């Protein structure tokens, strides 16, 4: 079998490649994802896949096409059905076309690993499009390994995206809704909520967390300014501290979330979200507003946690207050953006 595997990103490819290799099938990875938005996100996903495929020595082909306009033109009148009517077919069609022109006899897609995608429709489309090109569609319900693949991806430090990919799925990061309900194959279920998570206020020896706090704010001087007077909270998972936050009183109505950080290997599990919820519950009876200052990259995260009121921008904050240039992924941190959450409205 000569298999061309449409691949949406590195984390989704992890389980698919491992699984195929365990069956002694060697896929060629095929990157074609024209509507990932914005371009920097497209680039991060593509570059991560380049690195990953190189590191595991799998053949990979990168079809460069950043097609935002084409995607918008074709989906704007029917946003609800954009996945099955445009996004999936365009990817599968291009994969089949390339496969046919380049001597592959079988195609598949990593979209089959995600419990958030419309699995049965992808299967159906895959069969149909492969047939049109006189190819086979290799179907596997990769969803059974979704969690395993994501955990491995996190462990080896792959870039983990926070939304499906297109501009409309990116919008849902800011709004508190998610239309896609995860669906696993029959007989499989998501693990129950873990109850070994605790949050406590640490009064003594707050400096023991300095090293972790420095990952979010790399200036000891800055941290020392708020650590002494601020309140420090520790979220533990199975007794291991995994997420730390520091909150400081600004005046009788306002508190500021000065620092929040999750240990790298535990990121992506929702610990920061849990911590923020705890802090809001803790402060809402005594204060009216919680503010947070953030880099541009992290605005969507805070807006989603309810910090949806823009307060102010401090121009050049990260240049004027830090000795070295700060980078968040591909983006240099320059201005500090302040957002707030109305604690009176917090449920």
Q: How far is the CB of 161 from ligand SF4 (least distance, A)?
A: 10
As given in the structure block, the two tokens for residue 97 are: 């076309």
268: left (phi over 0), alpha (psi -120 to 50) or beta: left
In the stretch 153-192, what mask flags binding to ligand SF4 with x, by CB under 6 A? -----------xxx-xx-----------------------
Contact call for residue 46 and ligand SF4 (CB under 6 A): no
Of the candidate residues 46, 82, 119, 284, the single one contacting ligand SF4 (CB under 6 A): 82
The neighbour count for residue 55, using CB atoms within 10 Å, is 11
> Of 168 and 307, which has the nearer Cβ to ligand SF4?
168
6 touching ligand SF4, by CB under 6 A = no
Measured distance CA(86)–CA(64) in Å, rounded: 18
Among 292, 240, 294, CA closest to 262: 240
Q: Which two tokens stand for residue 165?
A: 């990919």
- Alpha-carbon gap, residue 158 to 276, rounded angstroms: 25
Q: Which is nearer to ligand SF4, 168 or 287 (CB)?
A: 168
C-beta closer to ligand SF4: residue 48 or 83: 83
x/- letters, 11..40, toward ligand SF4 (CB under 6 A): ------------------------x-----
**Coarse DSSP helix, strand, coil percentages of the chain, rounded to the nearest 5 percent:** 45, 20, 35
The tokens describing 142, both together, are 């990769």
CA nearest neighbour of 155 among 15, 275, 331: 15
Q: Considering the complex, what minimum distance in angstroms separates the CB of residue 121 from ligand SF4? A: 10
Residue with Cβ nearer ligand SF4 (156 or 179): 179
Residues of this chain that bind ligand SF4 (CB under 6 A): 35, 82-83, 87, 164-166, 168-169
């Amino acid at each position: 079998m000569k298999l061309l595997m449409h691949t949406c990103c590195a984390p989704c490819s992890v389980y698919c490649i491992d699984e195929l290799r365990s069956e002694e099938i060697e896929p060629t990875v095929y990157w074609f994802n024209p509507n990932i938005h914005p371009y920097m996100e497209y680039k991060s996903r593509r570059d991560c896949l380049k690195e990953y495929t190189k590191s595991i020595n799998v053949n990979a082909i990168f079809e460069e096409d950043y097609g935002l306009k084409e995607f918008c033109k074709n989906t704007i009148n029917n946003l609800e059905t954009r996945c099955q009517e445009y996004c999936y077919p365009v990817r599968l069609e291009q994969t089949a076309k390339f496969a046919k022109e380049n001597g592959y006899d079988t195609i598949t897609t990593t979209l089959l690993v995600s419990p958030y995608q419309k699995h049965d429709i992808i299967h159906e489309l895959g069969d149909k499009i492969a047939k049109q090109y006189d190819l086979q569609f290799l179907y596997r319900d990769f969803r059974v390994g979704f969690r395993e693949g994501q955990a491995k991806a996190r462990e080896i430090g792959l870039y983990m995206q926070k939304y499906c990919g297109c501009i409309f799925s990116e919008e849902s990061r800011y709004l508190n809704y998610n239309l896609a309900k995860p669906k696993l194959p029959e007989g499989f279920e998501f693990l129950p909520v873990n109850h070994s998570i605790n949050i406590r206020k640490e009064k003594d020896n707050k400096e023991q967390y300095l090293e972790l706090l420095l990952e979010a704010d790399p200036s000891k001087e800055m941290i020392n300014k708020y650590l002494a007077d601020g309140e420090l909270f520790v979220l533990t998972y199975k007794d291991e501290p995994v997420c730390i936050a520091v909150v400081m009183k600004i005046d009788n109505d306002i508190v500021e979330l000065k620092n929040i950080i999750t240990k790298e290997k535990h990121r992506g599990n929702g610990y920061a979200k849990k911590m923020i919820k705890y802090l809001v519950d803790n402060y809402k009876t005594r204060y009216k507003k919680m503010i947070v200052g953030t880099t541009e990259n992290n605005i969507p995260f805070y807006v989603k946690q309810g910090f949806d009121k823009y307060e102010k921008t401090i121009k050049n904050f990260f240049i004027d207050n830090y000795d070295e240039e700060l980078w968040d992924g591909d983006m240099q941190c320059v201005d500090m953006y302040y957002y707030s959450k109305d604690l009176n409205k917090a449920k």
